[in-house]
A and B are shown apart, each in its own frame.
Chain A
Amino acid sequence: MAVPPIVELREVTKRFGDGPLVLDRLSLAAQPGEFISLIGPSGCGKSTLLRLIAGLSPVTAGTLRVDGVTPDAAAAELAFVFQEPTLLPWLTVGRNIELAPRLRGISAMDRAATRQRVLDLVRLGNRADAYPRQLSGGQKMRVSLARALALEPKILLLDEPFGALDEMTREHLNEELLAIHAEAKWTGFFVTHSVAEAVFLSTRIVVMAANPGRIHSVIAVDLPRERTNATRASRAYLDLVADVSQLLRSVESTAA
């Protein structure tokens, strides 16, 4: 392994205060450019794991390295897309995207260029002056994604970003996300409840088990990286979805 991992977990353990064990000795290494989905029954700690990588919450034991340093030290390389669009309602789409760069002291000219580039990426190039409430749910999520991309992160953390959207919108956004990933080459961590979504997007899928949260298995997705709507009809894709679903069911039944 010539390239050092961009995110590395060694025996990472998490508990909140005196509470029960939330994550139990997780080990995982992600190579730059990978797209890793985290899937598992609710309560398996997949969102907690994302928050640990984000540095929003400290690990209890073990080591977690992001870009070779602690998550806190790597904060500038991380961006987070939350379950909700979490847009500031009093700012226009454009100003929402520019806010974090502005707070980091990026010049107005650079900000405007970045804003336009990321809005074009999510196909909302003409909505910079709209207020969030004028957008649909899918559009808001696109803006949220664009805002994260504007930070030009090395690692993008996505916590079930499309969970609240309808099936069609979700599939569209998945395809867009893949295209953006192919172009920008960040490393993605993606929490989801949808096996189909995980298989479609990922290079690897981490299946987690609950009580305490732990990694059950890691599945490599051996599909060509170029994925289109046709991929969803392919034999290999459907087999993999069936396999992962089967695996997930067995994980959930042993947990119960």
Chain B
Amino acid sequence: MSTRLLRLLAPALLGTLMVTAWYGVHLWLDTEMRFLLPTPVQILGAFRDNGESLGRAALNTAEGALLGFGGAALVGFLFAVVLSLSSLVRASLYPYLMILQMTPIIIIAPILVLWVGAGLKSVAIITFLICFFPLVVNTTQGLISTDRNLVELFAMWRTGRWQQLVHLRIPSALPYFFTGLRIAATLAPIGALVGDYTAGNSDGNGGGLGFQAIIYSSQAKYPALFATAAVTCALGFIFTGAVVALSWLALHRWHDSYERADR
């Protein structure tokens, strides 16, 4: 009981300390330099003043993030199934997957703008590219790590390849898939933001958070810039939270990672 209380108190205490230090730095700065670090109250004020544009931008970014993330989950999963078919397929495709992953987004962004135009499409594609790799790598690993004994069991039943995939390999790869999904969920809002920053436009009545960040920055609205960061962070929490919930639904009844210690 006391440890549970401590677990709640400790982060709260740390938060208080950090806000105090924050104010301390703000006050320590020369008055004309204080714009460099707005106070939490000023940032809350920015939420009030720019609430509407921030909200719209958040929704636009969430849309791009969700499209890219969802697409990456679906295509990444199917791609992983293809990769799991044989080591020859993996050996053939992995180098190109690596090249895709190694190419910096800030180079890809202008090319994408050239191809599909700035805005939601580019943002979604960039998010897709960022989410794709961890999903493919994790899911593939899961699909090829099936318990040897279970493979033997299916061999004993003389099941076909398709039945083995559907009833054995895919279910046993689910924990890996969800690991990939969790990583991708933390990356998706950041990916959408970066995509928006580099390949966004004012579509959707003011664009996404990245586009807004450019505007706030050019208008020297620094508290609003901090508010944008907070919104992006919240978006990340929502994405991760949703995946954690999904993962719980799919795995908690059977997977050891949800085994309660008190059992």
Q: Which residues of A contact B (CB under 8 A)?
A: 54, 56, 75, 78-80, 82, 84, 86, 88-91, 99-100, 103-104, 131-133
Contact = CB atoms under 8 A, between A and B. Distances in A.
Given A56-B155, A131-B254, A86 B149 contact: yes
Given A86-B149, A90-B171, A103 B253 contact: no
B100 interface: no
A243 B120 CA distance: 82
A56 B152 contact: yes
Closest 8 CB pairs of A and B: A86-B149, A90-B254, A80-B156, A90-B171, A131-B254, A75-B158, A89-B254, A100-B157
B161 to A, nearest CB: 13
A222 B253 CA distance: 49
B156 A103 contact: no
Contacts of B145: none
A169 to B, nearest CB: 20
Contact of B153 (A82, A90, A131, A132): A82
Contacts, number: 47
A103 B159 contact: yes
Interface of B: 147, 149-150, 152-153, 155-159, 163, 167-168, 171-172, 174, 253-256, 259
Contact of A88 (B152, B158, B171): B171
Residue with the greatest number of chain B CB neighbours at <10 A, chosen from A78, A86, A91:
A86
A77 B256 CA distance: 34
Given A54-B156, A56-B155, A78-B156, A88 B168 contact: yes
Given A86-B149, A90-B254, A103 B155 contact: no
Contacts of B167: 88, 99, 103
Contacts of B150: 86, 88
Nearest to A85: B149
Contacts of A99: 167
Nearest to B155: A56
Residue with the greatest number of chain B CB neighbours at <10 A, chosen from A79, A89, A91:
A89
Contact of A103 (B163, B254, B256): B163
